[in-house]
Structure 1
Amino acid sequence: MDKNIHLRFKANDRSYYAILKKEIHALARRANFSDTRMGEIDIVVAEMASNLSKHAKGGEILASITTGVHGECMEVICADDGPGIPDLNRMLTDGISTKKTLGQGLGAMKRLAHDFHVYTRKETGTMILCRIYKTPPPDYTKPEVAEIKAILIPKPGLDICGDGFYYDISPKFIRLFLGDGLGHGIEANKAVVAAGQAFESCTESSPKEIIRYINTEVKRTRGLVGTVAVFDREQKVWRICGVGNINTKIIGNTSNKTYMPYNGIIGLNVPNSLNVQEIPHENGQHIVLCSDGIKSRWDLVKHPGILRYDLTIAANTIIKEFSRNTDDMSVAICRIN
């Protein structure tokens, strides 16, 4: 299994809960979490599954070993289409329950997770995000230069993903790359991994030159589509260039912009003429990149204010509501702080 992807478990039937708990436990064990941390992960997953059964009549749970702000962690996301939580602060208090239970589920998750976020809206459901780090994080850390979050999910039935997301941060630039290998499965994964390695080794800061460099390095693969976005930290501007159907949107406070990529396939037929689109940065702006496993007409209109939460919440909301479920799926979001 690719270490960077999220496992996605449908949880519409109680008989499946034992399987998903076992799979997530095995994922933590392969990542060498301590017995203490594995016990905490088991409790969090059990409480999520219990809440889905009691309050939402089903949903899904995602799990991934990822690198967070404070190092390697287990990230677990629970999403449902239930009625929402009308008084979240009250429900976080131990002993409060609407189903005549002990009322300790949300409180237990909050205590055990190093990062804990809940997004809920009436009639659209609830999403819970928990991160448990191998090493407990410090009480205070300096704010990040940028918040960058991504979710990648393989095509249903596969455990290897043909989508890939890579980024790096330097004193002058923040560079993002989302790629989608042609098709899916092992060969698609080989193509996007080769592209990611090329992106990481490339020293260029111009998106079109990065695309050309990747194009040269992946010619022995089946090819891919991809978009590179570079934020110039000195000039406060985004520069974007892409080839193939990666959907890129800039969401601002007053307006949204969609980047139109070039036709072609990286590694096979990149256009001779590539231009870079420049978009000035403004406070509160977000750049969102999606592979074609996500419907192109996605939006977050039903979720005002969701981008003020951890960006993983918004990424998974897009996947939950707009995934095609016939291909690999990926969403990456960046906000400059």
Structure 2
Amino acid sequence: MDVTIAGALTQVLLIEDVSQIGYARRTTQKLAEQLGFNEGDAGRVALVTTELASNLLKHAARGELHVQTVPGKTGVGVEILAIDRAGGFDREACLTDGFSTRGTQGIGLGAIARQAEVFDMYADDRGAVLLTRFYAGGQRNADLRFGASQHSLHNDPACGDCWQLMLSSNGISALVVDGLGHGEEAERAALAGRKVFASMPFAAPQDLFQDMHQAMIGSRGGAVAVAQFNANSDSLRFTGIGNIGANLIGPEKLRGLTSHPGIVGVQYRKAQPFDYAHVNGNLLIMYSDGLQSRWNLRDYPGLVHRHPAVIAAVLHRDFCRGRDDATVLVVALEATHG
């Protein structure tokens, strides 16, 4: 199985008033229909969107729905995340039909979990993140264990960050590029690097970075990081130029991944890779400098065991600087047998 996943901006739908629920429902239903979902599957997406938005208003007074397409093993699905900064709630209790904190019928979250192919959530006193993913035909085995949250500064349609994943039967290659600054020129630099990566994601790092450098000359240039996971050798090779942050998080330790100074497309001394052993089952987290680096998953008990998309959303919610484009990519390192 070879799957190429090219990142795109996360669409943010504010939910602050009951009048916004209908717009959110129509937006996600239309997206599902554009992806070829039949009437029944698109209806499930619309129903869950309504429940998620309604729950944000009932339990948190306000929040956001983050919407994007998400490639799976057998086609493209729809991802909807409900995100709030309220006081959180009890996961198991809220999933039980009949439970309600507001005296209502209380069937929302249980129904959501049954309607979606993927459902996961994390809640604490900082707020809650609920993940749903949908695939045409109700294919519950279609999901891939990654998550990403990509946002441009001031909701600019151009984003200087980009990311991409290539999944093969025996490995994963992940890219994050942060073009200098933001806006159209930063985006042009980032996309030039991504185009090269897409053609040779598992190439030797020195060759890959040299080709990306050549492609980005004449642009602003940018920070670039590539992580190549080899399932056969249970190892990860990481190569970074500039300020892309990266961590490997295992059951017993966290390893920060080292980058070199420089700007791809402008000037850097060398693209020396670093190898890390015994990484199967670890989480790989890569992020642009639009995200603060002072986070620690140990401050979020149990979050490391949640779906990568939930982790990405929590980190963006709590650590986005708000003064640059911001991207966080979370990948579960495991063999992806087709």
TM-score by length of 1: 0.88
User: Secondary structure in 2 aligned to 1:288?
Assistant: strand
| One of 298, 305, 326 as aligned partner of 2:295 | 298
| One of 98, 105, 108 as aligned partner of 1:105 | 108
1:67 — aligned with what? 71
The change in CA–CA distance for 1:167 and 1:203 in structure 2 (over 3 A counts) is closer
Asked if residue 134 in structure 1 is aligned to residue 131 in structure 2, the reply is no
Contact 1:205–1:230 (CA<8 Å) still a contact in 2?
no
Shift of the alpha carbon at 1:203?
6.3
Shift of the alpha carbon at 1:294?
0.3
Contact 2:284–2:333 (CA<8 Å) still a contact in 1?
no
2:271 is matched by which residue type in structure 1? L
Contact 1:202–1:213 (CA<8 Å) still a contact in 2?
no
User: Secondary structure in 1 aligned to 2:93?
Assistant: helix
1:279 is matched by which residue type in structure 2? Y
Q: Which moved more, 1:199-208 or 1:243-252?
A: 199-208
Shift of the alpha carbon at 1:288?
0.9
The change in CA–CA distance for 1:170 and 1:94 in structure 2 (over 3 A counts) is closer
Contact 1:56–1:82 (CA<8 Å) still a contact in 2?
yes
Shift of the alpha carbon at 1:3?
7.4
Give matches, 1:1-40, under 5 Å: 4-40=8-44
Asked if residue 92 in structure 1 is aligned to residue 95 in structure 2, the reply is yes
Shift of the alpha carbon at 1:80?
1.5
The change in CA–CA distance for 1:170 and 1:284 in structure 2 (over 3 A counts) is closer
Asked if residue 281 in structure 1 is aligned to residue 278 in structure 2, the reply is yes
1:136 is matched by which residue type in structure 2? G
User: Which blocks of at least 5 consecutive residues in structure 1 are unaligned?
Assistant: none
Partner Cα distance (2:276, 2:321) in 1: 29
Asked if residue 43 in structure 1 is aligned to residue 59 in structure 2, the reply is no
Contact 2:258–2:274 (CA<8 Å) still a contact in 1?
no
Partner Cα distance (1:217, 1:181) in 2: 13
The change in CA–CA distance for 1:67 and 1:170 in structure 2 (over 3 A counts) is closer
Partner Cα distance (2:121, 2:253) in 1: 27
1:207 — aligned with what? 205
Shift of the alpha carbon at 1:233?
2.8
User: Secondary structure in 2 aligned to 1:245?
Assistant: coil
Asked if residue 186 in structure 1 is aligned to residue 188 in structure 2, the reply is no
Asked if residue 236 in structure 1 is aligned to residue 240 in structure 2, the reply is no
1:53 — aligned with what? 57
User: Which blocks of at least 5 consecutive residues in structure 2 are unaligned?
Assistant: 1-5
Q: Report the count of equivalent residues.
A: 329
Deviations 1:149-193 (A, max 9, x none): 322222232233322111223455421111112222333223222
2:324 is matched by which residue type in structure 1? D
2:178 is matched by which residue type in structure 1? D
Q: Which moved more, 1:64-73 or 1:238-247?
A: 64-73
2:68 is matched by which residue type in structure 1? S
When the two chains are superposed, the root-mean-square deviation of aligned CA atoms in Å is 2.5
User: Secondary structure in 1 aligned to 2:298?
Assistant: coil
Deviations 1:275-330 (A, max 9, x none): 22122124542221001110122222221221212111111111010001222211
Identity %: 29
The change in CA–CA distance for 1:275 and 1:59 in structure 2 (over 3 A counts) is same
2:3 — aligned with what? none
Partner Cα distance (2:170, 2:233) in 1: 9
Partner Cα distance (2:198, 2:112) in 1: 36
User: Secondary structure in 1 aligned to 2:112?
Assistant: helix
Give matches, 1:120-269, under 5 Å: 120-121=123-124, 123-137=125-139, 147-171=145-169, 173-202=171-200, 205-269=203-267
Partner Cα distance (2:97, 2:234) in 1: 46
Partner Cα distance (1:324, 1:239) in 2: 28
